Structure 1
């Protein structure tokens, strides 16, 4: 919405606000689900069950076409490919003759990277958690094909647009009247979606979220897992049972799933969580199947996993080439995330023959670095709460190599000194005894501008690390 419409929305009564949400969704869905969307969806449905060899053949053919497109239509890629013969690329290994680009490269040259004007494309902004957002453009076909890929995945678990859904995303739709009335959601009645705010996840409001979720009875929950996790923890702590046979699946977005988050969400909501990976820039997809195994979607792009010397490895930096980014081509793009591969020969009985990976490690900045113990990942950090009661949430800031600042939001009715000692011991076990740790109790830990909640905010420079 532009500023005028936002002002009108802010001052409108609830029924008009929800009508406006439905109207804007209708316009957006015409772009996403119009044009070639149905053709793409039917295509990917018919491709379910293709052999690994068939998928690899499709991937290589798409790669050749995409490279030729970028070289022809993007002045940036034409320049950086000047010493490479794109027509000679006949295997994925040949990609290594092309340069790797990162977010700063993209941001500094974005107007030369674009192949279309902003008037002809759909603009998408990255979250900008480092303070610098990035604007990418999608062609209509890019957008429709990406939604077809995503919907083909969700269709495996019964989801279709129009089924009752609780959605937790970065939409900031509330006003002061909503807060006063303890109403932390707005409903699109046309498409059967209730949008819950991710900006008001405070202990004093959580009962209203949970009571409304129970009353609304959605079939699916979609969105930021950290938000849904806080609601589930509140329900467990207050012995509020969530009705059985309500939620058919949880589809998390935009954040890394730790084992603790998965266990809590699946046990409390009595359902299964199915993870997926993509990005605002347009990274190719990784989808979790019914067997809880993660598959690279080869039809959406090329995935390279490299070490710090840019050599192939099984656990390292994810470098992507994304086939659905014709407006802003991503070719050998260092997306800032890490994944861990499984051996190529491993297969899954689910019917999806795409390669398997062991885990999505998430942002490379989602770790604490210790000179004593090295990198401590998000999963290990989240486990610091084992044996601890009364910590609503915590966030660790690291700006210096041997020092971390820990913000703690506590429930004073439960939290005791002994739990601080347990938490501190858990943290020292992970970061080592040489780390200086400051604990600071705060009334609330704010989410990012995107509505996401981050456990770790690491601003160390790579030059600070001892590798």
Structure 2
């Protein structure tokens, strides 16, 4: 009903409704214990590695005790494990994947009379999942996220361009080439991530130049398309306007970072978390990624569930008391930096060499094995005129590429280079089919997936 009323309102009232929604959300988000959490996060910035590990050890013990007492699932599955509250015994606990979480969500979520906040994970795999949070846990997560962004000058109220999965536009907006709504009180403009196509990108670029945001937040795939369009069409974004770009929800490739930083003439600072409540990995001013031990436990495991330098990420998150994440296989993979490497930024948390992204964001070659997202992105090397592409694998021996091109630049020679780049990665056996299309739609969440692997269950 609310959505139908919103669709009928004039533009200025729709903007007002966006402000009302934000005001209510910010009241919950920045109320309660938020200020105390912000103070604590700032004080913890310079803890030594030993102090961080001690903090992590204590939080883990408190979290596990709470989970066993309040979650039926974990009471039955880990309640009888000896010394279960000790972080040294974490490997004795079972690993929980997304299917286990989804199938047991009722018994995993704690029983409480408190009102809980709901959060739905994306649906890029075709299955969504709803988890719940205590408001104090959400407040602590936002306090940590805001503390991270504040290191680059951001606070609520700074002029911000936001690119997320909110679908706020009407047919009237699209017909007028208006692809945004604005909360004028909090100085946030929300740009649609559902209308990223060549016919509309000029309106995004020109409005961003007029709006002149200090910060950009949201899906990097959308920001990337805007940046590439701006560069290709000779737009000159003003110097010293954007202070930082904070991407969310998607893996950052070298190409993404290069074009966004080039067009907006600023730095991109990456951070990793998840809708389910994964602990944080953040990028510092020196460009290094840090595992934030005060937010949870990070395990990097190989196929035999043994500790590894590079592998799949299994997390235990301290801010997920309502729907606990205990040894949760989140579906992503990372590579750790050498343990003896230190950062000079003042953050003493361990370093991450690379966030490799979703485990199913890969193409599988019978000849060469898995080709990860970074290598898929690099198939654009030495090409021009490819605006966007998506790789879809439905069979072990077949790959479909959906490609949007600039007809004035793209040529048969560039196609050969593009195919050669793919052959270097997948070998000579796999059949590659190129489908030239006018546009490639985003997912229902507003995200764009460069890789769609539909055969991972066969591997």
Q: Specify the TM-score bucket, using the shorter chain as the normaliser.
A: over 0.9
**Match of residue 22, structure 2, among 11, 25, 28:** 25
Q: How does 1:131-142 map to 2 (within 5 A)?
A: 131-142=126-137
Q: How does 1:75-94 map to 2 (within 5 A)?
A: 75-85=72-82, 87=83, 89-90=85-86, 92-94=87-89
**Match of residue 437, structure 2, among 435, 439, 442:** 442
Instruction: Write out per-residue CA displacement over residues 256-314 of structure 1, whole angstroms, 9 at most, x where no aligned residue.
Output: 00011111111111100000000000000000000000000101000000001000001
Instruction: Write out per-residue CA displacement over residues 59-104 of structure 1, whole angstroms, 9 at most, x where no aligned residue.
Output: 000000000000000001011114313x4543x3310011001111
Q: Does 1:409 align with 2:401?
A: no
Conserved? CA contact 1:340–1:359, under 8 Å: yes
Partner Cα separation in structure 2 for residue 43 and residue 9 of structure 1: 40
Instruction: Write out per-residue CA displacement over residues 309-363 of structure 1, whole angstroms, 9 at most, x where no aligned residue.
Output: 0000010010000000011000000000000001222211000001101010010
Partner Cα separation in structure 1 for residue 33 and residue 221 of structure 2: 34
Q: How does 1:198-237 map to 2 (within 5 A)?
A: 198-237=193-232
Q: How does 1:4-403 map to 2 (within 5 A)?
A: 4-85=1-82, 87=83, 89-90=85-86, 92-116=87-111, 120-403=115-398
How many residues are matched? Answer: 459
Instruction: Write out per-residue CA displacement over residues 41-68 of structure 1, whole angstroms, 9 at most, x where no aligned residue.
Output: 0111111101000000000000000000
Conserved? CA contact 2:269–2:283, under 8 Å: yes
Partner SS, residue 269 of structure 2: coil
Instruction: Write out per-residue CA displacement over residues 196-245 of structure 1, whole angstroms, 9 at most, x where no aligned residue.
Output: 00000000100000000000000000010010000110111111111111
Classify 1:88/1:338 alpha carbon distance in 2 versus 1 (closer, same or farther; 3 Å): closer
Classify 1:418/1:218 alpha carbon distance in 2 versus 1 (closer, same or farther; 3 Å): same
Q: Which runs of 5+ in 2 are unaligned?
A: none
Partner SS, residue 415 of structure 1: coil
Conserved? CA contact 1:118–1:137, under 8 Å: no
Instruction: Write out per-residue CA displacement over residues 395-452 of structure 1, whole angstroms, 9 at most, x where no aligned residue.
Output: 0111211111111112223222222111111111111111110111112100000000
Q: Does 1:459 align with 2:454?
A: yes
Partner Cα separation in structure 2 for residue 248 and residue 266 of structure 1: 11
CA shift at 1:116, angstroms? 4.2
Q: Which runs of 5+ in 1 are unaligned?
A: none
2:414 equivalent in structure 1: 419
Conserved? CA contact 2:41–2:143, under 8 Å: yes
Partner Cα separation in structure 1 for residue 380 and residue 79 of structure 2: 53
Conserved? CA contact 2:390–2:401, under 8 Å: yes
Partner Cα separation in structure 1 for residue 238 and residue 84 of structure 2: 59
Partner Cα separation in structure 2 for residue 18 and residue 210 of structure 1: 20
Classify 1:217/1:62 alpha carbon distance in 2 versus 1 (closer, same or farther; 3 Å): same
Partner Cα separation in structure 2 for residue 105 and residue 377 of structure 1: 25
Conserved? CA contact 1:250–1:273, under 8 Å: yes
Partner Cα separation in structure 2 for residue 161 and residue 89 of structure 1: 37
Conserved? CA contact 1:338–1:360, under 8 Å: yes
Partner SS, residue 331 of structure 1: coil
Partner Cα separation in structure 2 for residue 118 and residue 420 of structure 1: 61
Structure 1 segments, 4+ long, off by >6 Å, are none
CA shift at 1:119, angstroms? 7.0
